[in-house]
Amino acid sequence: MEDKFLFSNTLKWNSGYQATMFFGDKASFEFATPPEFHGPEGFISPEELFVASAHACALTTFIARTKKAGINILSYESSAEGTLEKVEGVRRFTTIVVKPRIKTDGDKETVKEIVKQVEQNALVFNSMKADVTIDAIIE
C-alpha cells in the first residue's frame, strides 16, 4: 500500500457567502457560511462538513475493522456534535462527539475494543486538533 494519497475537489463561488463544491464526476453540492456568521439559511456549512468528516470516518473505519475481525453488524445509526468556541482568541472546534448505536450478534466486548481502536486510530480524527471521542451504545 502506498504511503501518500491525494484527495481533491474544486469549487466555484456563486455569490455572497455561497459556492458550489465539486468532487470530479462523483458529486457536487452548494454550501455557504452558516447563519451564525451572516450566511444564508438552508445551506450546508464548512463547519457542518468538518463535523461530518469525523462522523463519516468513524463509520468507515469501524466497518473496516469489524469486517477484518469477522464481526457481523446488524445496524449502525449515529449522531455527531461538534463544539466550536474561542480558544486564546481564535475560534476552533474543541470537541466532536460521535454517538453510535450499534447492534451486533457478535461479541460485544470485541466491538467495544474496536470502537476504542477507531477512536484512537481513525485518520480523520488524528488529523484534527479537536478532541474527537466516540460514545457508543452496543446492543
Secondary-structure class of domain 46-138 per CATH: alpha beta
Amino acid at 122: A
Distance, CA of 72 to CA of 91 (rounded, Å): 41
pTM equals 0.93
Tell me the domain boundaries of the chain: 1-44, 46-138
**pLDDT, one tens digit for every residue, the chain (139 residues):** 678 999 999 999 999 999 999 999 999 999 999 999 999 999 999 999 999 999 999 999 999 999 999 999 999 999 999 999 999 999 999 999 999 999 999 999 999 999 999 999 999 999 999 999 999 999 9
Euclidean distance between CA atoms 11 and 14, whole angstroms: 9
